[in-house]
Structure 1
Amino acid sequence: MSYFSRLALAPAVAVALSVSAFSASAQESVTWRVQSHWPQSSSSYADSLEYLRDTLDERTGGRLKLELHPAGGLFGADEIFNAVRRGVIQMGTISPAYAMGEMETAGIAFGLPAAFENEWEAQYFFKTLGFEDMVREDAAQHGLYYSTDKVFTNELVLTSRPETPADFSALTLRSSGTLQNYLTDAGAAVSSIPGSELYQALSSGVVDGAHWGAVQGALSMSLYEVAKYHVRPPLSVGGIDAFIVNQEAIDALPEDVQQILYNTLDEQFWRRTNEYIFGEQRALARAQAEHDVEVIELPQEVRDQMLQAAQVSWQRERDRGERAAAAMDMLEEFLAELGRAPTGTGETEEAE
C-alpha cells in the first residue's frame, strides 16, 4: 500500500477506533453505592429502593447498578447528605428532615402542619406549581440532584389514648423535621430517634408515640405490636422521603443513561405516591384485623393547641431565607385558591 493510500485510510481508521472506544465506554457497567435512611424492615426499602435498583438495572441493560445499604450500613441518617455531597457515595435516600440545616426549603418539603389535607394537593404543589424545582435549586447549590420519592401523610401512633391536654403534654413522642418543633410547640415532649431504634424505644417506654410515615410505615416496622392507637387527621402531608444523587456522578454517565435515570426518578414519584395511597387503606385493614388497632382523634383542646403551633411552624419556615419565603408565598396563594386560610388556623377566607 502506498504512502498516500495509508494517509487516506488513517482518518477512517481513527474514526472507527473512536466510535469503538465510545461504544465500549457506553456499554461499561457503573456501580453506585447507595446509603438509605430506611431500615431493611421498612416497607419503602423494598417498594421504593429495591424497585428503583431493579428498574435501573433493566432499563440501562446493566450499565447502572445500585449497591444498596440499609440504615446505618455505611453512614448514619444525618450523615447521608454530606456523604453524597462529598462524593464518598454516589446516592442516598433521606428524609428532608435531615437536610434542614443545609437546605432552606427542606422543612417545607417535609410537610407543614395544617397545610395539605390530602395527597393530591401535595402532588399539585410539588409538580404542577413547581415547588420541587425550588427544592432542586436548593440542592444544586450543594452539587446534588434531588428527587422526591413520594408524597404521603405523617400520622402518629400512640401507646395510650390521651383524653385531656394534660395527658398529651405528658407524652414523649419520637419526631423529626418540621414536626419536631411543631409537636413541642403544641405541648408534647419530643425526642429524635433513628428508625432502626424506634421499636425498642416504644416497647421499652422511652417514647409513648411516634410517626414513621403513616399506616404502612408503622405496620412494616411492627410498631402496632406496642402502639395500638393510630391518630387521624394526619400531622402533615409532604415529600417525606427523597433521593439525593451526586451531580458529578450523574454527569459522568453516558447521556442516554443519565436520561433513563432522570425519567425513572420522575416516574417513581407518581408510581409510589399512588401506590402508597392504595397501600394505606390495605394496611389499615390488616392492622385492625391483626393488631386491634384503633383509629382515634386527639381531644379538641389539643387540636386547638396544635393549630396555634402550626402558625409558629409556618413562620419559622418562612424565616429561613428568600427561597423558603417564595415557597411559602406560593403555598399560601394555593391554599387561598382552595378557599382555606393560609395561616394554619383552619379558618376559611372569602375568595377574591
Structure 2
Amino acid sequence: MLKKITLVVATTLLVTACGSNSETAGSGSADSGQSDKVYKLKLAATWGPTLTPFIDASQNMAKMAEEMSNGRLKIQVDPSNKHKSPLGILDLVKSGQYDMGHTATYYYKGKDLATIPFTAMPFGMTSTEQQGWMYYGGGLELMQKVFKPHNIVAFPGGNTGMQMGGWFKKEINTVDDFKGLKMRIPGFAGEVIAETGAVPTTIPGGELYTALDRGTIDALEWVGPSMDIKMGFHKIAPYYYTGWHEPGAELHYLVNDKAYDKLPADLQQILKTAMRVSADDMSVRTQHMNAEFLAQMKTEAPNVQIKTMPPAVLNELKAINDRLVGDMVNESPMMKEIIESQQAYQTKARNWGKLADYQYIKDNQ
C-alpha cells in the first residue's frame, strides 16, 4: 500500500511539474472532448525482455499511463526480440512504424552527431548534473531542436548514473595497451579510444557475452554492477575498470510527433507524467542495484580486480576527448550550441558538487 500511495503522490506532483515544460508540450489538436475514445500506441525498446531495469522503465510507464487515463491510453511495449532492430529505434519511430521508442540516443551518431550529448559525454556531467541541465538548464529545449527534423519529440527516459569503464581481458597500464584492442563502446567515447589505436564497435546488450567469450571483442563496457554481474562478464574478463566515459548516461523516450499531436491534451500530459515518473524510478532502482550487486560481487566473484585507469592514461584520454570535441564544435553549429550549454552548466553544478556531496564523502569515509 505504501508503494502505491507514494506513486500516486509522485505522479500528482509531476503532473504539475511536467505541465510547465512548454518546450515539449504538444498542441493537443485531437478533440479532448472524446473522453471515451481509446488511443493505442506501440513502443519499440532497444532492450530485450529480461534486461532489467531498462525494459522495466517502458513497461512501468505503459502501465501508469493506462491506469492514470482510466484505460484511454494503451501502450504496447515490444522488446528487441520482437521487432529485431535494437539499434534501429530512431528509424522505427521517425518512419511511424512505431509510435514510440525507448533507447539511448548516442547509438545514432551515424545519423545525427548531435544526438550524442543527450546520453552522455566522456568526462562530462554526472547524473544529477545531467538531469539538472536537462530539466532546468535548457537541455530539453535543445533536445527538441535536434529531434524535430527527425519527426520526433524526445523525453528523458532514465539515468544509469556513473557507469563503470568496462571489462578487460588484459590489464591496461599505458595508452599503448589500447592499440588493436577490440572494444564494445558506443557514443563519443568510441571516437576517443579509436584515436589510441583501439577498434570500437557497438553491439546490442543481448550479444555481448557471446562476443566477449568468442573473442569477437577483447573488452566491453556495459553499465555497472547493477547489470554487469548477472551478464556474466566477470567469468571471461577479470579486470573491471572505473568510469570516465559515461558519468551520467541518460536513456530516452522518442515519440513520433504525429502520434503525439493526435493525443488529446490531457493524454499528452498523462504520457509525459508517466515517462518522467518511470524514468526517475529507473534511476533510483539502478542506484539501489549498483549497491546491492557490488556487495554481492565481492563475495561471489572474488577473482574480479576493480581498477582505475592510471593517471597518465586518463590524462591522455581527456586530451584526446578535448581535441575531438573542439573539432566537432568548430564543424557543427548545433553541436557548438549543445556542448557550450553543457559545459557552462557543468562548471556551475560541479562547483556545488565539490562543496556538497564530494566534500561530505571525503570527510566522512
- Tell me if both proteins adopt one fold, taking TM over 0.5 as the criterion: yes
Matched, 1:245 2:255: yes
Matched, 1:134 2:145: no
Aligned-partner SS, 1:26: coil
- The structure 2 residue matched to 1:119, chosen from 104, 119, 127, is 127
Give the C-alpha shift of residue 263 in structure 1.
1.8
Matched, 1:300 2:308: no
Matched, 1:188 2:198: yes
Matched, 1:318 2:326: no
Gaps of 5+ in 2: 1-30, 352-365
Matched, 1:260 2:270: yes
Letter in 1 for 2:288: F
Q: CA 1:43–1:220 in 2, change beyond 3 Å: closer, same or farther?
A: farther
Aligned-partner SS, 2:200: strand
- The structure 2 residue matched to 1:110, chosen from 99, 116, 119, is 119
Aligned-partner SS, 1:315: helix
What fraction of aligned residue pairs are identical, expressed as a percent? 19
- The structure 1 residue matched to 2:301, chosen from 280, 291, 306, is 291
Question: What CA distance in whole angstroms lies between the structure 1 residues aligned with 2:88 and 2:55?
Answer: 22
Question: What CA distance in whole angstroms lies between the structure 2 residues aligned with 1:101 and 1:239?
Answer: 19
Gaps of 5+ in 1: 1-21, 341-352
- The answer for the alignment partner of 2:66 in structure 1 is 57
Give the C-alpha shift of residue 103 in structure 1.
3.9
- The structure 1 residue matched to 2:107, chosen from 98, 113, 133, is 98
Is this contact kept in 2: 1:148–1:239, CA < 8 A?
no
Aligned-partner SS, 1:73: helix
Question: What CA distance in whole angstroms lies between the structure 1 residues aligned with 2:250 and 2:167?
Answer: 17
Letter in 2 for 1:194: P
Aligned-partner SS, 1:122: helix
- The answer for the alignment partner of 2:357 in structure 1 is none
Letter in 1 for 2:130: A
Q: CA 1:68–1:336 in 2, change beyond 3 Å: closer, same or farther?
A: closer
Q: CA 1:311–1:59 in 2, change beyond 3 Å: closer, same or farther?
A: same
Question: What CA distance in whole angstroms lies between the structure 2 residues aligned with 1:169 and 1:277?
Answer: 33
Is this contact kept in 2: 1:77–1:98, CA < 8 A?
no
Question: What CA distance in whole angstroms lies between the structure 2 residues aligned with 1:301 and 1:183?
Answer: 14
Q: CA 1:23–1:224 in 2, change beyond 3 Å: closer, same or farther?
A: same
Give the C-alpha shift of residue 328 in structure 1.
1.5
Aligned-partner SS, 1:43: coil
- The answer for the alignment partner of 2:154 in structure 1 is 146
Q: CA 1:212–1:268 in 2, change beyond 3 Å: closer, same or farther?
A: same
Letter in 1 for 2:50: S
- The answer for the alignment partner of 1:281 in structure 2 is 291
Map Cα deviations across residues 52-90 of structure 1 (whole Å, 9 max, x no partner): 122112112222222222224224233221221111111
Q: CA 1:57–1:208 in 2, change beyond 3 Å: closer, same or farther?
A: same
Letter in 2 for 1:28: K
Give the C-alpha shift of residue 168 in structure 1.
3.2
- The answer for the alignment partner of 1:33 in structure 2 is 42
Letter in 1 for 2:282: R
Give the C-alpha shift of residue 92 in structure 1.
0.9
Is this contact kept in 2: 1:159–1:208, CA < 8 A?
yes
Is this contact kept in 1: 2:62–2:274, CA < 8 A?
no
Give the C-alpha shift of residue 24 in structure 1.
9.0
Map Cα deviations across residues 152-171 of structure 1 (whole Å, 9 max, x no partner): 23321223322343333353
Is this contact kept in 2: 1:150–1:270, CA < 8 A?
yes
- The answer for the alignment partner of 1:171 in structure 2 is 181
- The answer for the alignment partner of 1:82 in structure 2 is 91
Identify the structure with bigger relative contact order (alpha carbons < 8 Å, sequence gap 6+). 2
Map Cα deviations across residues 184-237 of structure 1 (whole Å, 9 max, x no partner): 123422222222211100111211211222222323433333233321133222
Question: What CA distance in whole angstroms lies between the structure 2 residues aligned with 1:188 and 1:64?
Answer: 47
Is this contact kept in 2: 1:105–1:134, CA < 8 A?
no
Q: CA 1:290–1:320 in 2, change beyond 3 Å: closer, same or farther?
A: farther
Q: How large is the Cα RMSD of the aligned pairs?
A: 2.4
- The answer for the alignment partner of 1:348 in structure 2 is none
Map Cα deviations across residues 269-292 of structure 1 (whole Å, 9 max, x no partner): 333323322332222222332223
Q: CA 1:313–1:124 in 2, change beyond 3 Å: closer, same or farther?
A: farther
Is this contact kept in 2: 1:114–1:235, CA < 8 A?
yes
- The structure 2 residue matched to 1:67, chosen from 58, 64, 76, is 76
Q: CA 1:187–1:270 in 2, change beyond 3 Å: closer, same or farther?
A: same
- The answer for the alignment partner of 1:11 in structure 2 is none
Is this contact kept in 2: 1:150–1:272, CA < 8 A?
yes
Matched, 1:48 2:70: no
Q: Report how many residues are paired.
A: 318
Question: What CA distance in whole angstroms lies between the structure 2 residues aligned with 1:305 and 1:123?
Answer: 28
Is this contact kept in 2: 1:168–1:302, CA < 8 A?
no
Question: What CA distance in whole angstroms lies between the structure 2 residues aligned with 1:41 and 1:219?
Answer: 14
Q: CA 1:23–1:200 in 2, change beyond 3 Å: closer, same or farther?
A: same
